[in-house]
């Protein structure tokens, strides 16, 4: 006889053998005992939680000649016939491959005939959400008023895809994910029955990898037992499923924390040469940082994290040098990397670049992020290293006394400013003021061969609305020119040339004469509020510089 996979060999035959679905088992058993059999059931839940198994047990229970407290006896002729698939009164249909209207019409034509040997004709439709719209419509009437001898059992992992008209005609049962402890206990029983010993750490790893799906866990165990060893170890499981262990991930995290670029590249080389999957590694790394976050914010992480005491101790050591924001930032970056790896043809390169980006970060947030900049500013203020400019002099922060060193810094800063004055960007001259460099911008357009754009800008003028927006004003009768310049491709070219001439990034806004006047008025500064006045008063009192920027 050919080999039977473990998940098929150990498929439960009675309700009591089903793991952790007591809420469903209790109701179905009671319906068998009392004879209250509905015409349609809907079993929902993630993969590997027992939906199809429960449907098969229930189909035998309602047809069994000698049921035992709601369970099928599995010994009578009907139960044996259903188990061996010799009785055609229980029909299993895969809706993924039989999803057309014609397939459902065959069912509709067959249900009118009475069962040949059993009491009920049962149709188990797996992955029912894969049926087409036409197939659902064909099934609807039959499902609503089937013959008294017909029972439909629909199974799906995505109940939200079913029409409301189908959902309303079924008794719905939601199957829950199976806990790690229950999966471990079941796997241990299977391994012992097969004459194989398996380490507790290995059992826990398989249970975690299965993500609540017992069938997946049994399949992994089947692979591990195929190694032919008398004892399955933690490393055996790692080698079978192709993932790295917590020690390797901890080394990566340590290298990221200490910003050891060379070490990170070495670890990635080891990862690739060992044939590990980059996407799976990043997923494991995200989960590891999630555990680090739990260690950071809770006093008893062992109650939440599924890991050994040694691993948790390592995590506690690592989070001592990390802030909560830093951990959350890394999780965000790694999550973006995980989604990107699905589409790239060079996963190793993308992995290396992303980890180096995390490693090179100066803080938990990007330097361009305003929160990161504020945190950096607060750090400098606290250490007393920040300097502020007050007119023609530079004063050190209160933590340092002014003296010769401050004067030297001022002189050095003045020399540096003088040397860079030539390359400094053109300063903002004020809202509504004419842009002094406009002729140079037009000349740059002409030299670069942008003649269409150049000719349509002849006769226009440029005004500065604010620091980042330049208004291009067209006189009356220039609506066509305004429309052409406003096109995305032309606006992009003009903004590029403006940015090059002004030395700062700007956006353009095409205006007519009336628009220009309104923009100028709206750009005028508003009256200072009470908060601003109070801040200026405090700054004056403590003789500290204050620069208010309203963007």
Successive 10-residue mean pLDDT values, the chain, 551 residues: 82 90 92 91 92 93 90 91 88 89 89 89 93 89 87 93 91 92 92 90 87 90 88 85 81 90 91 86 91 90 79 89 89 90 88 88 48 57 54 43 47 48 59 80 85 82 84 79 84 88 86 68 49 62 60 43
Which pLDDT score is estimated for 456?
A: 82
Q: Encoding tokens for residue 163?
A: 């029409």
Number of Cβ within 10 Å of residue 185's Cβ equals: 13
Smallest CA-to-CA distance from 92 within 113, 63, 128, 122 is with 122
Q: Which helix (H) or strand (E) holds 474?
A: strand 469-474
Residue 48: name the closest of 177, 173, 154 by CA: 177
* Residue 488 CB neighbours (<10 A): 7
Rounded Cα gap, residues 49 and 43, in angstroms:
10
Instruction: Return left, alpha or beta for 509; rule: phi > 0 is left, psi -120 to 50 is alpha, else beta.
Output: beta
Strand runs labelled E in 360-427: 387-390, 393-396
Q: How many residues does the chain have?
A: 551
The C-alpha atoms of residue 71 and residue 33 are separated, in whole angstroms, by 9
User: Tokens at residue 42, please?
Assistant: 């809907």
Which residue shows structure tokens 């189908």?
166
Give the Cβ contact number of residue 290 at 10 Å. Answer: 15
Cβ contact 461:434 at 8 Å: yes
Contacts of 32 (CB under 8 A, 6+ apart): 58, 61, 62, 67, 70
Measure the CA–CA gap between 381 and 373, rounded to whole angstroms: 12
The contacts of residue 363 (CB under 8 Å, 6+ apart) are 326, 372, 375, 376
Residue 310 CA to residue 192 CA, distance in Å, equals 27
Rounded to whole angstroms, how far apart are CA atoms 443 and 446? 5
pTM above 0.95, yes or no: no
CB count within 10 Å of CB 69 equals 10
Contact by Cβ (8 Å): 100, 135: yes
DSSP state of 422: G
Distances (CA, A) of 339 to 252, 280, 329: 20, 11, 16
Dihedral over Cα of 214, 218, 223, 227: its sign: positive
Of the candidates 20, 17, 29, 38, the one whose C-alpha atom is nearest the C-alpha of residue 64 is 29
Question: Comparing C-alpha atoms, which of 76, 126, 118, 117 is closest to residue 96?
Answer: 126
Is residue 293 within 8 Å of residue 301, measured between CB atoms?
A: no
Please give the pLDDT value at position 542: 60
Spell out a b/e string for 343-374, using b for 16 or more CB atoms within 10 Å of the CB, else e.
eeeebeebbbebbbebbebebbbeeeeeebee
* Residue tagged 């330049």 (tokens): 470
């Amino acid at each position: 006889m050919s080999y039977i996979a473990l998940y098929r060999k150990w498929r439960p035959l009675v309700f009591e053998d089903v793991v952790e679905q007591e809420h469903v088992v209790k109701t179905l058993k009671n319906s068998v005992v009392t004879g209250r059999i509905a015409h349609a059931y809907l079993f929902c839940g993630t993969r590997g939680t027992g939906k199809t198994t429960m449907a098969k047990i229930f189909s035998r229970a309602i047809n069994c000649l000698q049921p035992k407290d709601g369970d099928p006896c599995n010994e009578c002729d009907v139960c044996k016939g259903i188990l061996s698939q010799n009785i055609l009164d229980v029909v299993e249909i895969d809706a993924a491959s039989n999803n057309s209207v014609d397939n459902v019409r065959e069912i509709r034509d067959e249900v009118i005939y009475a069962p040949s040997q059993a009491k009920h004709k049962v149709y188990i439709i797996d992955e029912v959400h894969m049926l087409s719209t036409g197939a659902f419509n064909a099934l609807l009437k039959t499902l609503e008023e089937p013959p008294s001898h017909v029972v439909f059992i629909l199974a799906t992992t995505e109940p939200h895809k079913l029409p409301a008209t189908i959902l309303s005609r079924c008794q719905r049962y939601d199957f829950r994910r199976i806990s790690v402890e229950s999966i471990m206990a079941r796997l241990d029983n299977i391994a012992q029955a097969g004459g194989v010993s398996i380490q507790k750490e290995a059992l826990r790893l398989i249970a975690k990898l299965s993500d609540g799906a017992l069938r997946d866990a049994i399949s992994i165990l089947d692979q591990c037992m195929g190694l032919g060893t008398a004892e399955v170890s933690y490393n055996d499981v790692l080698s079978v499923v192709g993932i790295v262990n917590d020690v390797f991930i901890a080394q990566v995290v340590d290298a990221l924390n200490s910003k050891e670029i060379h070490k990170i590249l070495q670890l990635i080389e080891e990862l690739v040469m060992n044939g590990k999957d980059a996407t799976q590694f990043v997923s494991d790394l995200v989960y590891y940082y999630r555990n680090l976050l739990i260690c950071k914010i809770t006093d008893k992480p062992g109650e939440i994290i599924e890991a050994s005491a040694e691993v948790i101790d390592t995590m506690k050591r690592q989070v001592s040098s990390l802030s909560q924001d830093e951990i959350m930032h890394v999780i965000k970056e790694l999550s973006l990397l995980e989604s990107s790896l699905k589409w790239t043809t060079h996963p190793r390169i993308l992995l290396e670049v992303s980890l180096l980006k995390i490693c090179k970060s100066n803080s938990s947030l990007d330097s361009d992020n305003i929160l990161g900049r504020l945190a950096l500013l607060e750090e400098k203020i606290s250490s007393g290293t920040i300097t502020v400019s007050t007119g023609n002099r530079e004063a050190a922060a209160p933590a340092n006394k002014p003296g010769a060193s401050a004067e030297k810094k001022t002189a050095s800063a003045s020399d540096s400013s003088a040397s860079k004055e030539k390359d400094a960007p053109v300063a903002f001259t004020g809202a509504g003021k004419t842009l002094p460099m406009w002729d140079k911008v037009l000349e740059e357009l002409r030299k670069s061969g942008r003649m269409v754009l150049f000719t349509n800008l002849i006769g226009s003028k440029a005004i500065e609305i604010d620091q980042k927006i330049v208004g291009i004003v067209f006189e009356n009768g220039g609506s066509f020119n305004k429309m052409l310049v406003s096109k995305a491709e032309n606006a992009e070219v003009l903004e590029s040339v403006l940015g090059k001439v002004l030395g700062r990034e700007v956006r353009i806004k095409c205006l007519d004469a009336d628009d220009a006047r309104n923009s100028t008025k709206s750009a005028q500064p508003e009256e200072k509020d009470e908060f601003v006045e109070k801040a200026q008063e405090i700054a004056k009192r403590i003789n500290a510089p204050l620069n208010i920027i309203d963007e």
